[in-house]
Structure 1
Amino acid sequence: MKQLLALTLISLSVLSCVSSKKYKLALAESDALRQSLTNCRQDLGSCQNTKDELGRTSDARIKELNQGLSSRNEKIKGLEEQIDFLKKNNNNLLERLSDLSVVSKAGAESIKKSLEAMNEKDRYIKDLTQAVSRKDSINLALVMNLKKSLGDLPSEDVNIEVRKGVVYVSLSDQMLFKSGSATINEKAAVTIEKIAKIINDQKDIDILIEGHTDNVPINTDCLADNWDLSTKRATTIARLLQRKYNVDPARITAGGRSEYLPKTSNDTEQGRRINRRTELIILPRLDQFFELASPAGQ
């Protein structure tokens, strides 16, 4: 009996231990499930908030897109209206162009003639510029050759310079002539010969010979006055160039300027000596420039 009781107590004790463990395990599992449920509810709430936020954002974006679409539709409508206007305007212009076709042909012909005239003037200006450039080159060569040929003469007897694009050779009267006379000195012939050679080598130039005096009246029965003296001295040089040195007389012009074109004042002896001179003015052939001065068609 005692043994049975002991076994019973032992069995109850074991059962009691087993039930206590299961309870604790179940309780722990229940707490875990409860916590999981709480977490799920929190996640559900967060998801719901995110959904609501996304819904609001989507609505705003959709509204914005709809407004943009409406604006673009208005622009498209405006562009279509502009296209219609341009089409109508283009048709009107085509009709006017058709009406003006005859006038346009006449205008085109007028423009063509104007362009041809402009081109002709351009060619004229180009030719004239080349002629002036060529004249300047000739002048430079003349000056160099003259100074080389006459460089041994005193500067008070010979002066070579370019004035306004023209070469001037000024020879003093004391080198060329006797006082108050139009008879040339023998030593002057050498100088004239050198000048004549340069003139003959350059075929496209002409020579203007000018006699100049001071303001002292001439006192001789052979000459009337300073006009007579200056002119006879110029023609003496002209005849010498023609007859002795074979310069074409068609290239020579001679004249007297008397006392009325002095280089300096006649108040001093030195001034009067400078003014008594004969100038050989070397000119480009004028016919070349006359041709250029009258372009074709004018």
Structure 2
Amino acid sequence: MKKIFLVSLTAVFLSSCVSKKQFTDLESSYSSTKKELVSAKASLQECLIEKDRNSNKVISTEAKVQSMEDQIASLKEDKKSALKQVENLTVLTQSSSDNIKTVIAQLSEKDKYINGIRTAMTQKDSINLAIKYQLTKELAAGIQDEDIIVEVEKTVVYISIADKLLFKSGSAIVSEKAKAVLGKVATVISSRPEMEVQVEGYTDNVSISTATMKDNWDLSTARATSVVRVLQSDFSIDPKRLIAAGRSEYVPLESNDTAAGRATNRRTRIVILPKLEEFFDILEQKP
């Protein structure tokens, strides 16, 4: 109790020693210091926020720098690739130029080749027209126009002879009268030794069946063969130039429903054409 009294007494004594003015000054100083502390804390907080902002800016800037460096590296690679392509294009352009020159030269040679073939075909057409004229002149005497037809198509001469001039019905034996007609054809054939001769037999659709002929294939082939034999044996046409072929009833000119149509379809056709060997020789010539 005695100690408490002494402390209280001391406090009274000290408070009485500090003047009111000094207390006011101390209080004012404390308030000012407190404000400065608050301001300092606020400034510190702003600095921390600004630091975070700057850190983010640095990170963003570094990312942009890295992206730009990547783009620069990519552009460098693109540049290298482009330079390589330019080099290749230069080589390719030179090669293409050489190829174009070669193609132009080849086309020029082909044009000459084609023009040569056209000239030969024109000449062949002229020859065939001459053959047609000669045949028409040779065959005119004593023969009806509808019995023999002479045509020129491209490089081929066709002589179509009605069967009534050559054979009896169902027979493959050439009549004596027909040999006179074939003799006139043979005269023209002999004058053109460079040409081949194909004899084709045609029938109507009337069935045939005999001891020697099973059907129209046999009949058409036998008739063509008979004509070929006459040309060879009676008129000395080189057999190497002769071809016999039977077409049966399957290539009619008219309908087989009428007698007139069937008569037209029963015919023998003699085809005068260029030798195939000569034709292939032309194709194999180097353009």
2:237 pairs, out of 226, 233, 247, with 247
Q: Secondary structure at the match of 2:125?
A: helix
The alignment of Structure 1 onto Structure 2 pairs a total of residues equal to 201
Distance 2:258 2:149 in 1: 20
Q: TM-score, with normalisation over the residues of structure 2?
A: 0.64
Partner of 1:148 in structure 2?
A: 137
Cα drift, residue 127 of structure 1 = 1.0
Are residues 1:118 and 2:110 paired? no
Are residues 1:291 and 2:285 paired? no
Q: Map 1:47-126 onto structure 2 (within 5 A).
A: 110=99, 112-126=101-115
Distance 1:231 1:145 in 2: 28
Q: Map 1:161-200 onto structure 2 (within 5 A).
A: 161-200=151-190
Contact 1:209 1:238 in 2 (8 A): yes
Partner of 1:265 in structure 2?
A: 255
Are residues 1:282 and 2:267 paired? no
Partner of 2:29 in structure 1?
A: none
Structure 1 stretches of 4+ moved >4 Å: 100-112
Deviations 1:50-99 (A, max 9, x none): xxxxxxxxxxxxxxxxxxxxxxxxxxxxxxxxxxxxxxxxxxxxxxxxxx
Deviations 1:144-171 (A, max 9, x none): 0010000121123211122454221111
Cα drift, residue 109 of structure 1 = 5.3
Q: Secondary structure at the match of 1:211?
A: strand
| Distance change >3 Å, CA 107–CA 266, structure 1 → 2 | closer
Question: Mind listing any 5+ residue stretches in structure 1 that lack a counterpart?
Answer: 1-99
Deviates more, 1:214-223 or 1:270-279: 214-223
Contact 2:198 2:244 in 1 (8 A): yes
Q: TM-score, with normalisation over the residues of structure 1?
A: 0.61
One-letter amino acid matched to 1:138: I
Question: Mind listing any 5+ residue stretches in structure 2 that lack a counterpart?
Answer: 1-88
Distance 2:125 2:131 in 1: 10
| Distance change >3 Å, CA 177–CA 114, structure 1 → 2 | same
Cα drift, residue 178 of structure 1 = 1.4
Cα drift, residue 111 of structure 1 = 5.1
Deviations 1:224-262 (A, max 9, x none): 111100000001111111122121112111110111101
Cα drift, residue 115 of structure 1 = 3.7
Distance 1:262 1:106 in 2: 58
Partner of 2:193 in structure 1?
A: 203
Q: Secondary structure at the match of 2:272?
A: strand
| Distance change >3 Å, CA 108–CA 190, structure 1 → 2 | same
Contact 2:202 2:251 in 1 (8 A): yes
Cα drift, residue 103 of structure 1 = 8.5
Contact 2:156 2:271 in 1 (8 A): yes
Contact 1:124 1:292 in 2 (8 A): no
Cα drift, residue 204 of structure 1 = 1.9
Cα drift, residue 286 of structure 1 = 2.1
Q: Secondary structure at the match of 1:120?
A: helix
